[in-house]
C-alpha cells in the first residue's frame, strides 16, 4: 500500500486521477440506466440489448479515431466537442420516447461522441511518474476505476427504482458534464502534447501485445456486460439487490487490483488473471440467489482489475509514445465491441431462457478470454524488473511548461 500512497503524493497524480474517474463515472451508470429505461418503455430485454449494442458499436468506432485526433488537434478540443455531443444524445434518450430503431440511432451517435478521456489519461501517465512507478500506477488506476462500477450500479438502481429511469439517466448526464469539465481544467492536458503519429491508422495493431490486449479485453468486457444483464434479469427492478450484487462484483475487482498490483507481469500473468474471472463466472451459473451470486462474482472480480492492469502495461511497453493514444483507443474498441456483443447475446438469451442464459454467455466469454491469453502468452512481454514506459519517438517530444 505504501507504493500506492507514494504515487498519490506525486504532483498532479491524485488530482488528474480523481478528475478522469469523475468524467468516466457516467459510464458505470449508463449501460444499466439504458437497460432499465428501454426495457420499461418497450418491455423487452432484447430491445434494450440492441440499444446497448448500438451505443457500444458507436463507441468502438470512435475509440481509435478520436484518440488519433488528439494528436492532430489536441486533447482539449476533441474532448470538449465529443462531450457536448454525448450529453445531447443522453438527454434525447432520457426525455424523448422513440421506437427501438430511434433509440438505436441516437445511442449509436452517442457512442460515436464518447469523450476519449481514458486514452488521454493513460497517455499522460508516463509523463507524470518515473518508469518504476508506471506499472503500479496502471494497477492503481485499474483498481480505483472499480469505484465507478461499485457506486454507479447502486446509484442507478436506487434512482431508477425509487424515482424513475429518466432521472437515473439524468444523474449520469450531470456527472458527464461536471466530470468532463473538471478533467478539461486539469493543467496536465496543457503540459503534455501527443505528437502526430506518422504511421497509418491501424498499424499499431501489428504489435502482438496490442492485438492480444484488444482481443482479451473484448472477451473480458463481453463477459462483464452479460453478467450485468443477467443480474438485472435475476433480481428485476423492484429493489436494490441487482445494484448490490454488481457492487460486490466490483469490490472484488478493487480488492484484487490492490492485492496483485505489485506483482511483476510475466508472459502468463494475463492468462492466470483470466482464469480467476472464468472460475468465478462459471460457478455463478449454478445458483441464482443473492448470496451465491455475490460470492462467486466477488471471486470473478478478483481477476478483473489485475487483468486490465496487465493489458495497460503491456501496451504501454510495446508502442511508441506517439502511438499510445491510438493503441489504447483500439483496446477500448475491443472492449466496447465485447460489451455490445455480450449485451445483445445476453438480452436474447434472457428472453429465450430467462436469467440463466446471460450467465452462460458470461462464462463462455470468460473461458475464451482465458484460452486466448494462454495460447498466445508469448505475445505478452516479460515486464518483471523492466520499464513499462512507451518507446521514445526518434524526434524530440515537446512538453509545455
Task: Give mean pLDDT, residues 339-360.
Answer: 87
The H or E element spanning position 316 is: helix 304-316
Predicted local distance difference test score (pLDDT) of residue 276: 97
Asked whether 8 and 320 are in contact (CB, 8 A), the reply is no
CA distance to 25, 30, 88, 153, 222, per residue, from 171 (Å): 10, 10, 14, 12, 25
Is residue 327 over pLDDT 60?
A: yes
| Residues contacting residue 273 through CB under 8 Å, at least 6 positions apart | 260, 303, 304, 306, 307, 310
Asked whether 152 and 25 are in contact (CB, 8 A), the reply is yes
6-20, 107-121, 126-140: range with lowest mean pLDDT: 126-140
9-13, 19-23, 265-269, 288-292: range with lowest mean pLDDT: 9-13
Asked whether 302 and 280 are in contact (CB, 8 A), the reply is yes
- Altogether, the residues listed in the chain come to a count of 401
Predicted local distance difference test score (pLDDT) of residue 400: 45
73-82, 126-135, 199-208, 211-220: range with lowest mean pLDDT: 126-135
More confidently predicted of 96 and 61: 96
Predicted local distance difference test score (pLDDT) of residue 68: 81
Look up the CATH superfamily of 2-379. Answer: MFS general substrate transporter like domains (1.20.1250.20)
Predicted local distance difference test score (pLDDT) of residue 397: 45
Predicted local distance difference test score (pLDDT) of residue 217: 93
Averaging pLDDT over each range in 130-139, 326-335, 352-361, which range is the top one? 352-361
How would residue 387 be classed by pLDDT, with cut points 50, 70 and 90?
Answer: low
CA distance to 17, 71, 80, 127, 308, per residue, from 123 (Å): 13, 11, 18, 8, 16
Reported as a single tens digit per residue, the pLDDT across 5-53 is 777 778 888 889 889 989 988 877 887 788 889 988 988 878 888 888 8
Dist. CA 253–CA 250, nearest whole Å: 5
Predicted local distance difference test score (pLDDT) of residue 189: 83
**Cα–Cα nearest to 360, from 230, 217, 215:** 230
| Residues contacting residue 14 through CB under 8 Å, at least 6 positions apart | 8
Domain limits of the chain?
2-379
Task: Give mean pLDDT, residues 102-111.
Answer: 92
Mapped onto helix, strand or coil, the DSSP state of residue 166 is: helix
Could you give the angle at the alpha carbon of 247 between the alpha carbons of 281 and 220, nearest 5°? 40
Whole-number average pLDDT of the chain: 85
Task: Give mean pLDDT, residues 113-138.
Answer: 81
What are the grid coordinates assigned to 109, written together? 451517435
Asked whether 33 and 208 are in contact (CB, 8 A), the reply is no
Cβ density class 101-132: b for 16+ within 10 Å, e for less: eebbbbbbbbbbbbbbbbbbbbbbbbbbbeee
**Cα–Cα nearest to 143, from 330, 31, 278, 3:** 3
1-15, 52-66, 166-180, 326-340: range with lowest mean pLDDT: 1-15
Averaging pLDDT over each range in 54-63, 109-118, 131-140, 212-221, which range is the top one? 212-221
Predicted local distance difference test score (pLDDT) of residue 223: 94
- List residues bridging with 399 in a β-sheet: 192
72 HSE (CA, 13 A, CB side): 11
Asked whether 288 and 236 are in contact (CB, 8 A), the reply is no
Amino acid at each position: 500500500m505504501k507504493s500506492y500512497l507514494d504515487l498519490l503524493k506525486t504532483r498532479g497524480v491524485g488530482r488528474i486521477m480523481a478528475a478522469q474517474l469523475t468524467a468516466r463515472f457516467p459510464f458505470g451508470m449508463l449501460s444499466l440506466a439504458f437497460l432499465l429505461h428501454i426495457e420499461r418503455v418497450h418491455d423487452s430485454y432484447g430491445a434494450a440489448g440492441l440499444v446497448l449494442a448500438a451505443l457500444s458499436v458507436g463507441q468502438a468506432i470512435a475509440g481509435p479515431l478520436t484518440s488519433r485526433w488528439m494528436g492532430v488537434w489536441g486533447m482539449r478540443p476533441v474532448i470538449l466537442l465529443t462531450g457536448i455531443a454525448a450529453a445531447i444524445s443522453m438527454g434525447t434518450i432520457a426525455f424523448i420516447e422513440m421506437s427501438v430503431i430511434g433509440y438505436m440511432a441516437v445511442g449509436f451517435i452517442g457512442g460515436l461522441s464518447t469523450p476519449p478521456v481514458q486514452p488521454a489519461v493513460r497517455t499522460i501517465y508516463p509523463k507524470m511518474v518515473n518508469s518504476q512507478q508506471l506499472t503500479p500506477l496502471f494497477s492503481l488506476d485499474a483498481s480505483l476505476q472499480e469505484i465507478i462500477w461499485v457506486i454507479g450500479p447502486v446509484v442507478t438502481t436506487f434512482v431508477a427504482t425509487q424515482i424513475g429511469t429518466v432521472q437515473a439517466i439524468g444523474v449520469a448526464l450531470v456527472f458527464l458534464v461536471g466530470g468532463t469539465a473538471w478533467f478539461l481544467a486539469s493543467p496536465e492536458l496543457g503540459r503534455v502534447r501527443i505528437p502526430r503519429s506518422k504511421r497509418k491508422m491501424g498499424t499499431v495493431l501489428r504489435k502482438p501485445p496490442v492485438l492480444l490486449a484488444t482481443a482479451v479485453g473484448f472477451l473480458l468486457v463481453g463477459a462483464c456486460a452479460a453478467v450485468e444483464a443477467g443480474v438485472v434479469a435475476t433480481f428485476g427492478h423492484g429493489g436494490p439487490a441487482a445494484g448490490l450484487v454488481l457492487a460486490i462484483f466490483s469490490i472484488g475487482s478493487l480488492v484484487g487490483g490492490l492485492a496483485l498490483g505489485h506483482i511483476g507481469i510475466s508472459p502468463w500473468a494475463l492468462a492466470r488473471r483470466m482464469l480467476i474471472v472464468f472460475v468465478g463466472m462459471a460457478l455463478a451459473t449454478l445458483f441464482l440467489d443473492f448470496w451465491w451470486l455475490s460470492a462467486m462474482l466477488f471471486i470473478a472480480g478478483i481477476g478483473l482489475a489485475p487483468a486490465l492492469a496487465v493489458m495497460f502495461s503491456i501496451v504501454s511497453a510495446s508502442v511508441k509514445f506517439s502511438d499510445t493514444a491510438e493503441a489504447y483507443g483500439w483496446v477500448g474498441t475491443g472492449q466496447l465491441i465485447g460489451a455490445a456483443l455480450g449485451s445483445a447475446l445476453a438480452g436474447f438469451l434472457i428472453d429465450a431462457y430467462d436469467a440463466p442464459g446471460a450467465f452462460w454467455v458470461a462464462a463462455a466469454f470468460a473461458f475464451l478470454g482465458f484460452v486466448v491469453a494462454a495460447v498466445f502468452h508469448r505475445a505478452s512481454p516479460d515486464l518483471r524488473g523492466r520499464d513499462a514506459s512507451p518507446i521514445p519517438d526518434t524526434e524530440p517530444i515537446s512538453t509545455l511548461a
